[in-house]
Structure 1
Amino acid sequence: MRVKQLLIRWLANSCPPGNPVLCRLNDFFAEKLLRWRHQRFDTGRITTTSVPVPIISVGSISIGGSGKTPAILALLYLLQQEKIAPAVLSRGYRRKIKGARLIPTMGAMHQLAADYGDEPLLFRYHFPEIPLAVAEKRIEGARLLLPVKPEIILLDDGFQHRFLQRDLDILVFKKEFAGSSARYFPCGELRDALFRLEAASLILLEKSASPELRGFLKQFAPIFDYEMVPQPPDSSLLKEPIAAFCGVASPKRFFETVKELGVLVADEIAFRDHTVYSPKILTRLQSLNARTYITTEKDFVKLPPYFLNQNYVQPIRWEMRISDSHKLLEKIKVVLNKYYIE
C-alpha cells in the first residue's frame, strides 16, 4: 500500500496537464488503482456497514465545486417541507477538531467553521436546529447521530466512502464536466472512475449542460435538471467602492455572477478553496478601503465578528432549483417506506 501511495503522490506532483505521456501514465495507474479498490467492495472483501436509518449520499466523481453543498441545502428544504426530520453527516474538510463530532447549535460561526469545516457550517447557517455531525470515518458519525433520532441522514460528499451502506447515491454535475473524455486529476477533474457512474441512483445535472454530456450521463441513471439561481443583494444597502472576494473552487463563476447581478465592483480577490480568514488576509481585505464587501455565504460564515462589525459584508446566496423536485421526493419516500412502513 505504501508503494501505491507514493506513486499517487508522485503523479500528482509530476503530471502537468500539457504532458501527454505523463497524463496517459496517470490515467492508466489511477484507473487500475480505483478498479482494484472498488472490486474489493464489490466482491465483499471489504465490508460495508449499515445503520437503522436511511442514508442518502450526495457526491461527485470530480474534484472541486460540483454543486454538492447547494444540492444538500435543496434536499434539506424539500425534506423540511414534508415534515421529514433530516440530519447531515460530513467529513468536515480541513477542520481543526478531528474525530467523530456533533456540531454545536450555539457558538461563534467563524470559530465553528474553523473547528468543524466550512461546508457543515453553511448547513448550520441555513438550518440552525438540524443535527449535524462530522467524521473522517462516516460510520462513526452515523452512529453518533442515531441518539438524536433523525428519520434520514444526508451523507455529504459520500460517493467514494463505501464503508457506510447507503440507500440512494445522488451524483451532481456542472455543465463543464468533460463527460466521456474526462481525465484523472491532476491532468483532469476525475477523482473516481467513470465506470462508477453505474452505481448512481440518480443524477443532478445543470440545466444548460450540452446535449453530448446529457446523452453520456443518461445511460447510467435518471437525470434531474437543476439551475443555480443567485439571489441579488439589496442594492439600497450597497455603497461604493465595492470589493468582491471568495475562497471557493470556482472563483471565476462567482465574479461573473456578481457582475451579472449589476454590481459595479472596484476590486476582486480570489483565495484558495477552504481559505481560513487569518488576521493577515483580513488586513489585506481592509486595505482595499471598500465600503461594501461582496462574498459567498461559504466565506461569510468564516468571517470573525470584529471584521463584520467594522465592515459591511453582503453574502450572495445561490439557490439550487431542481426540476421535477416532486419526483425526486417520491424516490426518497420510497426509501423511507422501506424503513418505516411494514
Structure 2
Amino acid sequence: MARLLTFLLLPLSWLYAVVLAGRNWLYDYGWKRSETFAVPLVDVGNLRVGGTGKTPHVIWMVEELLRQGHRPAILSRGYGRQTQGPRLAGPADSAATVGDEPWQYYGQFAARQVPVAVAEKRGLGVALLLSQHPEISIIVLDDAYQHRAVRPTLNILLTELARPFYTDHVLPAGRLRESRAGAARADVVIITKCPPDLSSAARAAVAQRVRRYTRPGVPVLFSAYTYAAPQLLPVADDAAAIAAEPTASAGPALLLTGIAQPGPLREYLAQQGYTLGWHAEFPDHHAFTPADLAALRAHWQPGWPIFTTEKDATRLLDPALRAARAGLPFYTIPVRVAFLGDGGAVLRRRLPAAPAPRP
C-alpha cells in the first residue's frame, strides 16, 4: 500500500522538484544573490524533513569550535516559536519565544558566552548577531541547507543511515525537501545514527552510493549517538523536594517524546534494562499540554522514572505546565555524537581556523 501511494504521488514530487531545481539554478548561476559576511558560516543541515540528528551535531560543532579558540554563535530559524523576526535569546525567553532547539542551545551554552539567535531570514539573523556581539568569530547555522540567501563557508549535510537521501523521494512522495542532486552543495556528508561497530565494508558501500551525488573529494563521515547518565529535570522550586526524587534505575519506566525519530532512544532504554510501560509519543516540536501530562500520569506508578529528551524538556519547563508536572520524576538523557574511525579528525581539519588571540 505504501509503495502504491508513493507511486501515485510521484508526479507531484517531480513537479515540486522541478520548481526547487529552478530556484537552485538561479542561485547557482548568480541570478539570485547569496549573501556573504565578515565571519565564516558553518551550516549543519539536511535534505530530508526532520530527524537526522542536527541538534547533537550542532552541539558537537560548538564544543569543538570553543576548544579551538573560536567565539562561536548559533543561528536557527526557531521553528514552532510564537514570535517572528530576528531575535536574540535571553534569560527572559523560553521555548515558546525562540523555539525548543534554540532554547536548548541557550541553556547549554549561555554560561560559555555563546550567543543564540533565531530568524526566518538568516541574513537578518547574522546581521543581528554581529551588531550585538562583534566578538563573534564564526556562526553555526542550524538547518539552513535550503536557505540559499546566505552562503556558508562550510556546508555539512546530514543523512540517516536507516533513511539515506539516496533512497528517498521529494515531497510528497517521500521526505526530501529537494532532489538528491542537492547533495552536490555539500562540503562534508555525515551519515548519522550508525551502530558504533558499523564495519568498514558497510561504511565503504554507503559512501560509494553517497558519492554518486557529491562533488569529487567530499569526505563521507559516519557518526553514532552516545548517551549520558539520566539527569533529573527539576519539577519543584523546593531544593529538598528535588533532592528527594528517586534515582533512575533499571526496571519499569515511561517515555515522553515530541521528536521526529524516538526509535534510537527507545532502543537505548531497552539496552539499559528499562521496560517501557507506556510511550507518550507526539509529533516533532509538539507543545505539551496539561491534558498530555494528565494522560501520562494515568500510566505512571510511584518509583517509575519518566524519560524524555533535552529538546522536549525545554517545552516541559513551560510555567503553564508546573502544576501538571508536580510529583512526576522526569529525567532527560543527554544525547551526543561520536564519530567512527577518523571522522572527527577529518571534520576538525575542515573547520575554519580560529583567529589569533588579541594581544
| TM-score range for the pair, normalised by the shorter chain length | 0.7 to 0.9
Alignment pair present for 1:238 and 2:215 = no
Q: What SS does the corresponding residue of 1:77 show, helix, strand or coil? A: helix
- Choose the corresponding residue for 1:223, options 211, 220, 225: 220
Once the two structures are superposed, the pairs formed by residues 289-308 of structure 1 within 5 Å of their partners are 289-291=300-302, 292-304=305-317, 306=322, 307=324
Distance 2:328 2:339 in 1: 35
Q: What SS does the corresponding residue of 2:23 show, helix, strand or coil? A: helix
Consecutive unaligned residues of structure 2, counting only runs of 5 or more, are 233-245
- Measured at CA, do residues 99 and 87 of structure 1 come closer, stay the same or move farther in structure 2, by a change above 3 Å? same
Q: What SS does the corresponding residue of 1:333 show, helix, strand or coil? A: coil
Alignment pair present for 1:313 and 2:327 = no
Match of 2:278 in 1: 267
Aligned identity (percent) is: 27
Q: What SS does the corresponding residue of 1:302 show, helix, strand or coil? A: helix
Distance 1:258 1:18 in 2: 35
Using the TM superposition, give the Cα deviation of residue 301 of structure 1 relative to its aligned residue in structure 2, in angstroms. Answer: 1.7
Using the TM superposition, give the Cα deviation of residue 31 of structure 1 relative to its aligned residue in structure 2, in angstroms. Answer: 2.1
Once the two structures are superposed, the pairs formed by residues 100-115 of structure 1 within 5 Å of their partners are 100-104=86-90, 106-107=91-92, 112-115=94-97
Distance 1:238 1:316 in 2: 11
Distance 2:7 2:104 in 1: 41
Q: What SS does the corresponding residue of 2:94 show, helix, strand or coil? A: helix
Distance 2:152 2:329 in 1: 43
Using the TM superposition, give the Cα deviation of residue 251 of structure 1 relative to its aligned residue in structure 2, in angstroms. Answer: 2.3
Distance 1:234 1:45 in 2: 50
Asked if the contact 1:241/1:290 (under 8 Å) is kept, the reply is: no
Asked if the contact 1:99/1:135 (under 8 Å) is kept, the reply is: yes
Once the two structures are superposed, the pairs formed by residues 1-342 of structure 1 within 5 Å of their partners are 18-104=4-90, 106-107=91-92, 112-128=94-110, 129-147=113-131, 148-149=133-134, 150-206=136-192, 207-208=194-195, 210-211=202-203, 212-219=205-212, 220=214, 221-233=218-230, 237-238=247-248, 241-291=252-302, 292-304=305-317, 306=322, 307=324, 309-323=326-340, 324=342, 325-334=344-353
Using the TM superposition, give the Cα deviation of residue 131 of structure 1 relative to its aligned residue in structure 2, in angstroms. Answer: 0.1
Stretches of 4+ aligned residues off by more than 6 angstroms: none
- Measured at CA, do residues 95 and 295 of structure 1 come closer, stay the same or move farther in structure 2, by a change above 3 Å? same
Distance 1:136 1:16 in 2: 34
- Measured at CA, do residues 60 and 294 of structure 1 come closer, stay the same or move farther in structure 2, by a change above 3 Å? same
Alignment: residue pair count: 321
- Measured at CA, do residues 216 and 179 of structure 1 come closer, stay the same or move farther in structure 2, by a change above 3 Å? farther
Distance 2:275 2:248 in 1: 10
Using the TM superposition, give the Cα deviation of residue 56 of structure 1 relative to its aligned residue in structure 2, in angstroms. Answer: 0.6
Distance 1:297 1:26 in 2: 37
Distance 1:84 1:20 in 2: 46
2:94 partner letter: L
Using the TM superposition, give the Cα deviation of residue 246 of structure 1 relative to its aligned residue in structure 2, in angstroms. Answer: 0.4
Using the TM superposition, give the Cα deviation of residue 231 of structure 1 relative to its aligned residue in structure 2, in angstroms. Answer: 2.0
Asked if the contact 1:173/1:205 (under 8 Å) is kept, the reply is: yes
Q: What SS does the corresponding residue of 1:99 show, helix, strand or coil? A: coil
- Measured at CA, do residues 264 and 181 of structure 1 come closer, stay the same or move farther in structure 2, by a change above 3 Å? closer
Question: Normalising by structure 1, what TM-score?
Answer: 0.86
Using the TM superposition, give the Cα deviation of residue 130 of structure 1 relative to its aligned residue in structure 2, in angstroms. Answer: 1.3
Asked if the contact 2:293/2:325 (under 8 Å) is kept, the reply is: no
Using the TM superposition, give the Cα deviation of residue 45 of structure 1 relative to its aligned residue in structure 2, in angstroms. Answer: 1.4
1:319 partner letter: R
Aligned alpha-carbon RMSD (Å): 2.5
Question: Normalising by structure 2, what TM-score?
Answer: 0.82
Using the TM superposition, give the Cα deviation of residue 126 of structure 1 relative to its aligned residue in structure 2, in angstroms. Answer: 1.7
Match of 1:8 in 2: none
Further displaced range: 47-56 or 131-140 = 47-56
Using the TM superposition, give the Cα deviation of residue 125 of structure 1 relative to its aligned residue in structure 2, in angstroms. Answer: 2.4
Residues 251-302 of structure 1 show CA distances to partners (whole Å, capped at 9, x for unaligned) of: 2332222112222222111011101012221222222234421111111121
